[in-house]
Amino acid sequence: MSNYKNHTPEEVQLKIEQSQEAWKKWRLTDIAIRSSLLLKLAAVLRSRQQPLAALMADEMGKPIKQGIAEVEKCARCCEYYAEHAAAYLEDQIIRTEASKSYISFQPLGIILAIMPWNFPLWQVIRFLAPALAVGNAALLKHASNVPGSAMAIEEMILEAGFPPLLFQTLLISSKDVALVLEHPHIKAATLTGSTPAGKQVAAKAGALLKKVVLELGGSDPYIILKDADLELAAEACVSSRLINSGQSCIAAKRFIVEAEIEEAFTQHFLEKMKAKTMGDPHDPGTDIGPLARADLRDELHEQVRTSIEKGAICLLGGIIPPGNHAFFPPTLLTNVQPGMPAYEEELFGPVAAFITAKDEADAIRIANDTSFGLGSAVFTSDLAKGEDIARNQLEAGASFVNSLVQSDPRLPFGGINQSGFGRELGLFGIREFVNIKTISIR
């Protein structure tokens, strides 16, 4: 593992000035050139797929096969914006009394990105690809436990042929973010992380009148109705709950099961949970690696322990294995009730919380009984009913029917309520950090 030294305040100021100068030229670069460089970045990502996956396994414990998939997803995101950015940013003609009037989408300047450790490459690329396509510059404050991933992204940007200093990593602590945000060259910020961190950045950005996009925590509900295909539902639910060893904002967290089929669904779920392998993240056969840090493992264990003390029933896992590590086993809690951490809080690890619903209406009520609002899903054989529930009744930024919730470069991604605001990805993501400029000519 490499050692990295934090940048001094003077170094940070220099990097901001350098990015500003690089941006002045980049903003005038033809979008065809920007798109061609995104395609080169996709190729660079794929050429480094194996070492990048190994780096993520070393830094935060991601299973190697999931790391390989993450790199591929980053490459596809770059390709998507290379193909679609020009159309998304095309002038929109508006008929008025003027001889010519239209809307132009112009770059803002330097965007500050504050990113977490759980998807060290994807969280950055899903913001960076559209930001660079627009003509913005970017500075990255990555999580302190993944500096190697941050520096690797900077290296790949240069290898792809983007101008030097257009994108740079700031090796700084969280307490220094406010000072960076205050700099007049920083025009906006995007943060993926916890709700408390999002509130701090939003308060600071609001005081400065700078735009911010926040993708925060989630406690995603998955409703399993009595007419669902239980085998399909269990496969999707277990996959979602255990992705990235359970450390994902849009992982399934609360499983709301109609009472009539709860026993049968529980057996399907247990069978699939028990089949997953926990072990060395470098082993291609590993499904669940260690959590990113031992303190996060201990926090999760406390949430589980407290929930059990309050009446939850532990059917699987729940006990930290012996040894000096950050592993936490796949865990299933049933009889989860209001007032328990498993009901009220986000469980950031491989712990599933089962909540019994009397009927469909009760299941929807429980699903919406949360301060979060990131993703949600419903499983039913009645697709019309499922679509109605997803579209009109579940309160979240995304609702899926008979499928686990996933981010996709083609679709906008983000939440409501305590899960944040603004959108990444798709058409709406590329237009978050632009000056929507009106041009009118008499």
Q: Where in the sequence numbering do the catalytic residues fall?
A: 215, 249
Sign of CA dihedral 82, 83, 84, 87: positive
Beta sheet of 100-107, edge-to-edge order:
92-93, 100-107, 434-441
Q: What is the Cβ-side half-sphere exposure of residue 182, based on CA atoms within 13 angstroms?
A: 8
pLDDT at 1: 55
Residue labelled with tokens 């408390």? 196
Does pLDDT of 194 surpass 60? yes
Q: Taking residues 335-352, report their average pLDDT.
A: 98
- pLDDT > 90: percent of the chain: 99
Q: Taking residues 139-154, report their average pLDDT.
A: 98
> What mean pLDDT value characterizes the chain?
97
Q: Which long-range contacts (CB under 8 A, 24 or more apart) does 172-175 make?
A: 172/6, 172/7, 172/12, 172/141, 173/6, 173/144, 174/141, 174/144
Q: Taking residues 341-364, report their average pLDDT.
A: 98
Does pLDDT of 15 surpass 70? yes
| Amino acid type, 362 | D
Does pLDDT of 199 surpass 70? yes
Q: Taking residues 84-113, report their average pLDDT.
A: 98
State the CATH class of domain 220-401.
Answer: alpha beta
pLDDT at 234: 98
Q: What is the dihedral of CA 325, 330, 336, 342, to 10 degrees?
A: 40
Query: pLDDT tens digits for 105-129?
Result: 999 999 999 999 999 999 999 999 9
Question: Which tokens is 230 given?
Answer: 């239980």
Does pLDDT of 135 surpass 90? yes
Strand pairing of 186-192 and 110-114? parallel
Query: pLDDT tens digits for 276-323?
Result: 999 999 999 999 999 999 999 999 999 999 999 999 999 999 999 999
Q: CB–CB of 357/259 below 8 Å? A: yes
Count how many residues are written for the chain.
Answer: 442
| Amino acid type, 416 | I
Query: pLDDT tens digits for 366-414?
Result: 999 999 999 999 999 999 999 999 999 999 999 999 999 999 999 999 9
Contact partners, residue 375, CB within 8 Å, separation at least 6: 218, 220, 250, 396, 397, 398, 399, 400, 405, 415
Query: pLDDT tens digits for 152-161?
Result: 999 999 999 9
Q: CB–CB of 242/331 below 8 Å? A: no
The pTM (predicted TM-score) of the whole model is 0.96
Fold of 9-216+416-441: Aldehyde Dehydrogenase; Chain A, domain 1 (3.40.605)
Distance of CA 52 to the CA centre of its chain: 18
**Rounded Cα distance, 57 and 67, in Å:** 7
Give ranges for CATH 3.40.309.10 in the chain: 220-401
pLDDT at 3: 81
Give ranges for CATH 3.40.605.10 in the chain: 9-216+416-441
Does pLDDT of 2 surpass 80? no
